Amino acid sequence: MIEVQKIAGAIGAEISGVDLSRELAAETVAAIRRALLDHLVVFFRDQELTPAQYLAFARRFGEPVEYPFVRGLDGFPMITPVVKLEHETVNFGGVWHADTTYLPEPPMATMLYAREVPPYGGDTLFANMYLAYETLSPGMKRVLEGLVGVSDSAKADGSRTREDRIRDRGTAGADRRLTALHPAVRTHPETGRKALYVNAAHTVRFTDMTEEESAPLLEFLFRHQIRPEFTCRFRWRRGSLAFWDNRAAQHNAVNDYHGFRRVMERITLRGDKPR
């Protein structure tokens, strides 16, 4: 019997009463998936997982896929190390974003597991993109209808945060540039709700517009979608696991723990083409 407890008004819930290292009953998997759809990000505490157990848990919810720029763990290519070392000043993922929207089919969800955390700092913020869309004016919704965003893996806001990891674990194609076109507002394939689907890390412009022409609208949307009342903040402990819906949530890893090591492991699950 699991318990689901909201941690903020807009997004996020902590799930207790489950050991993710064990084989989960179908009813438990269904309850976790329902909580994910309801709260967009769910958190688990005090989990002791080997890479094989972590991967087995992820496979109950979808198909793990490799990250295109950083090699996975030895023997587990679907598990991407997300690391900041003591001497580094830039962190991986330290900008508001949805994961890899520069792919034609971005991940449907992401899991992040904490192996080693700093004594303070290193929290992750999450934001609800349903609310970001639903609180726009009718006029702005009409403006966004039919607009298509261009996501680019080379946008500085996103690419800078992965430079250290590419340097030490880059894939053979880490220098390639990936772009994809996605609607500015997507419809969630499971809930049917509309979500704002542009992000500061990867969206560079709208199709049929220049970057300069797109900038005023994008800058407004980037500010609007992370209003405090749309967000939650999660403080990590060793053994914590976060599982978020990449189709309707954004996240930002706070970079406030210079001089300390933070070691996480990420799994992304195959998604569909946003519509």
Compute how many other C-beta atoms are within 10 angstroms of the C-beta atom of residue 43. Answer: 24
Active site residue 224: no
How far is C-alpha 182 from the geometric centre of its chain's CA atoms? Answer: 16
Kindly list the strands in the beta sheet with 148-152, ordered across the sheet, starting from the edge strand earlier in the chain.
179-183, 148-152, 203-206
Active site residue 157: no
Q: Which of the following is catalytic: 99, 152, 164, 245?
A: 99
Q: CA–CA separation, 185 vs 203, rounded Å?
A: 13
Q: Which of the following is catalytic: 71, 182, 247, 266?
A: 266
Active site residue 251: yes
- Phi and psi (nearest 5°) for 125? -100, 145
Q: Which of the following is catalytic: 71, 205, 251, 262?
A: 251
The residue written with tokens 């004594």 in the block is 119
Q: Which of the following is catalytic: 97, 182, 202, 247?
A: 97
- Encode burial over 153-166: b for 16+ CB neighbours within 10 A, e otherwise: bebebbbebbebbb
Question: Is residue 49 within 8 Å of residue 20, measured between CB atoms?
Answer: yes
Which residues are marked as active site?
97, 99, 251, 266
